[in-house]
Structure 1
Amino acid sequence: MKNILIIEDERDLAELVAFNLEKEGYRTVVTLDGTGGMEAARSQLPDLIILDLMLPGMMGTEICKVLKKSEKTSHIPIIMLTARGEEIDRVVGFEVGADDYVVKPFSTRELLLRVKAVLRRANPEKSEGKIIVIGQITIDTERHLVTIGDEEIILTTTEFKLLLNLAERLGRVQSRDTLLKNVWGYNYVGDTRTVDTHITRLRTKLGTAGELIKTVRGFGYKMEEM
């Protein structure tokens, strides 16, 4: 049974989300402020966190940033839950490491679908492991490990899947819509900036090796050896 931590200061909404998740077979823990949520995330290490942006005690963006920088908690996927839907807020959420972003008001069905999709990305079906080497980058698919030379590069689950998707299709152009479907597991209607933001973060983490990821203007991205 998957454990989901809900960090949301609106008690009624938090309890409604918890009720619907439990109906789907998840175990939930609810905290109503940022400080308590941070403590719960560190002590309980849930399988997924639903995190409100505006919280008393500690902002959701700060919680996300701290958790994603810690080796102990960086693997935990986070869905940002907020009433603010401006594009800049979505970009900031992804930049601090959020795996998905849901704007209030939302339907319970939409949230459940996103929870399932994020958990599926975080826990992919096991397949035969392989080593992919492209330029300086080595990808160990079985260990979910990326290295450049002797240095391990810490990637989120989504960043790893995005890199692997491009690497396995070396030299082939992938449209933003295709990447959304293959990496995120469903379509973000009109929200292709999600891909752009994650590509930017991925290139930054890869350093000079990030130049292997090429932009195909007006269409998408591809990975090719230099």
Structure 2
Amino acid sequence: MTGSLRRALPTAPDGSLPARHRAMQHASHRWVEVAGADVLVVDPDAEQPELRDAMAGHGVHLTWVSSTTDALVAYGRTEPRTVVVAVGTPGLAPVDFVTAIRRHGAPYVIASGDSLTDPAAGVLLVAGACAWLPRPYAAADLWDVLATSPYATEGHGRVVVGPLELDAAAYRVAFAGRRLPDLPLKEFELLRALMLRCPDVVSDADLLAALWGTDAGTHGTRTIAMHVTRLRTRLGGVAAVRRVRGRGYALTVED
């Protein structure tokens, strides 16, 4: 799990993550679902939570489906730039699936399986797969393949606006190279959401989704306003958050 959020966080004596850091990890998944690089994994085996967590630390969101039939739906819904396809996946033959998605775009296709000597692996590579990944998946192996793909994913865990830099994996905010005091989780999430759209206005609805995900309906604009007030104070003048009445909030970073 090199470079993952889990590696950057301290663990309890039993090896588990403290409650606050588990919340940070869940926040990481929400961020990448909204703004991260999306990788579609088409594999009949059960999803690997540790792989999902490690890639979230890199700003990469995994969508995992167990059949090529479901994968066609997921491909149309998420429009991923990278697709991992395991040989032997049920549904439409994997080679036909790869041929179909390449008719409707130019995704970076990665074939996967137990052995590269499997004849089915060669068929996928001929059909348009550009790389090979052994199963079961290791986060370091997947990251190495993604890092050399035409679609860079490295920057999704890190957001930079002028001299202001936010690193989601390290849970770090810096201004002109100087690390700022750690922000509480919700202010950190709020700042990242604003930086991702800077200098555009982020609507209240989008901020609610970024901060609370599926629980957004239990919170309102007053709660956002409270966190904005706190964030303004904690930023200490290095950046300003302005309210655009009826629309949302926008971030301005000092040069």
Normalising TM by the smaller chain, what interval?
A: 0.3 to 0.5
RCO (CA 8 Å, sep 6+): is it higher in 1 or 2? 2
Give the structure-2-normalised TM-score. Answer: 0.42
Higher CA-based Rg: 2
